[in-house]
Amino acid sequence: MTIFSDIGRYLLMIKGMFSRPENKKMYGKELIHQCVEIGIGSLGIVTIISIFIGAVSTIQTAYQLVSPLIPKSTIAQVVRDTIILEFAPTLVCIVLAGVAGSRIASELGNMRVSEQIDALEIMGVKTKTYLILPKILAALLMIPLLVVIAMTLGIWGGRLAGVSSGIISGQEFDAGLKLFFDPFTVKFALIKSYVFAFIISSIAAFYGYYVKGGALEIGRASTKAVVVSCILILFADYVLSALLLKAN
Amino acid sequence: MIEVKNIKKGFGDKTVIQDVSAVMKAGQCNLIIGASGSGKTVLMKCMVGLFQPDEGEILYNGNDFIKMGRADKTEIRKQIGMLFQGSALFDSLNVEQNIMFPLSMFTKWDYKQKLNRVNEVLERVNLPDVNKKFPSELSGGMKKRVALARAVVLNPKYLFCDEPNSGLDPQTSLVIDKLIKDLTIEYNITTVINTHDMNSVMEIGDYILYMYKGNKEWEGNKKDIIFSKNKRLNDFIFASEFLQDAKDMRMLERAGKISDDRNMDELLNKDAPSIMPPSDSE
């Protein structure tokens, strides 16, 4: 029963977000603040993860392609598609569920427990619109950008690892990158990143906004938000792949 | 004026407030007192709309707050200031930004006008020169004063204070009480205060509502409360035997009837033997 009431409350929360702001300027400021928190705040970890994932992909692909009949440029082609289709959107979003999602849940949870949300409510501020909507919009704006950065850095990291370890030359890697390139893969990755961004921000906001109790419950809500987001991201990943790649 | 009519509120099977009615007038401090768990905070949260009562009416100048539409409720809420038990200051904003928040949200003033008003209310709560400090850098009493400044910055008609003295020393409590009382008179605010601090009751209690297990047990003013014959209320007021004894002791001391430490021990610790046996008799 809890799962149904949770789904109901989640849907009501989403519905409650869409009301007219009291002061558009204040909401705009909050949106920019959240863009900085989610975008700039997660840039460091996204950079590190992307470079290393790209590097590891190149080395592992080269390790598996032992046949002399397969040209070395195939390594770049495999790395490119793996990073664009899966690693950049899915892996980065799972990491972002931990970084940005837990931050959103704990921030809202702390505000709820310390009565800051009640204080806003009594002032006449529509708390769902003011606190949740800017976070979701910021995630929808910043996470796809982070995914694009992750794609670029991942491929660059792969090239760097391949060239520096002597697996593949720079020219071969660049040639492989252009080989059978389908622009739909980038479009598909972006569609996934929008869906994942919504999941990360709205699930975290839900668990944070409805926290009851104290510090311990904030921690639990934060953990639950990350776990549920990760599961939903993987589920959505499967559904989107099955629908969009098949149709293509 | 706020009228509470036959309010009932429960959570699940448990009824927390049963049929409570009261009239809270403007320009006076209306106190809701009672032991922990007596329903004070729930009643206050019903009054400000944080909880929806199961039955009854909450009338703000004759208009039922419960039945109002969202837009009307928002208008009433703009006239409400609330001081929370834990202050509820926004952690990420400094003092100036905290107090400026309602002004930025609900007025079209420019920054200079807003800053002037912020400094005015900070001066009013005796807290100059803390504008750039964050809540984590303030003491408990300072946080309460900043929260009070934020609550009155929009000149509210109604001020709600949930246990304004909790966690404060007696002297700071007096300062907060006096501030609330002065602001109430100065701006003719209808002030509602939840407390179990008897000092506050005697300092500022113009109207007192005593709650016992979710029911209205007694109402009156600070003069009536001393001579009340309600046993539950008396048990609540004079719960501290030590205070009674200390008072008795002072009176005896003034009358010259306490001459040594042994008499004091007898008064302070009635159950202890009046003369301690000498150590060598064991």
| pLDDT at residue A5 greater than cutoff 70 | yes
**Confidence class for position B259, pLDDT limits 50, 70, 90:** low
* pLDDT band, very low/low/confident/very high, at B248 (cuts 50, 70, 90): low
pLDDT digits (tens, 9 = 90+) for B55-91: 999 999 888 999 888 888 888 988 999 999 889 999 9
Domains for chain B: give ranges and CATH numbers: 2-231 (3.40.50.300), 242-275 (no CATH)
CB atoms within 10 A of CB A16: 16
Mind listing the pLDDT tens digit for each residue in A110-151? 999 999 999 999 998 999 999 999 999 999 999 999 999 999
Q: For residue B264, what pLDDT is reported?
A: 53
Q: How far is A123 from chain B (nearest CA, A)?
A: 6
Inter-chain touch B106–A124, beta carbons under 8 Å: yes
Give B191's strand partners: B29, B159
Q: How far is A122 from chain B (nearest CA, A)?
A: 6
Closest-approach residue (CA) in chain A for B76: A124
The pTM of this model reads: 0.84
pLDDT above 90: residue A188? yes
| Contact criterion met (CB < 8 Å) for B85 and A23 | no
Total number of domains in chain A: 1
Q: How do strand B80-83 and strand B158-162 relate by DSSP bridges? A: parallel
In a domain, A198, yes or no: yes
Task: For residues A202 and A194, give the distance between their C-alpha atoms in angstroms, rounded to a whole number.
Answer: 12
Residues of A in contact with B48 (CB under 8 A): 122
pLDDT score recorded for residue B132: 94
Range of the domain at A105: 25-62+69-247
pLDDT of residue A110: 95
Which of the 8 DSSP states describes residue B126?
Answer: T
Position B269 confidence tier, pLDDT thresholds 50, 70, 90: low
Cβ within 8 Å of A, B 238-267: none
Count how many pairs of residues, chain A against chain B, have C-beta atoms within 8 Å.
52
Query: Within the 125-164 window of chain B, which residues sit less than 8 Å (CB to CB) from chain A?
Result: 160
Q: Is residue A101 domain-resident? A: yes
What integer is the mean pLDDT of A6-24?
92
* Residue A103 scores a pLDDT above 50: yes
Instruction: Say whether A116 and B88 touch across the interface (CB within 8 A).
Output: yes
A232 located within any domain: yes
| Amino acid present at B210 | Y
Report the distance separating Cα A175 and Cα A168, nearest Å. Answer: 11
Lowest average pLDDT, out of A26-30, A103-107, B161-165, B277-281, goes to: B277-281
- Chain B residues in contact with A25 by the CB 8 A cut-off are 104
- Which whole-number Å values give the CA distances from B231 to A5, A243, B218, B246, in the listed order? 45, 74, 10, 22
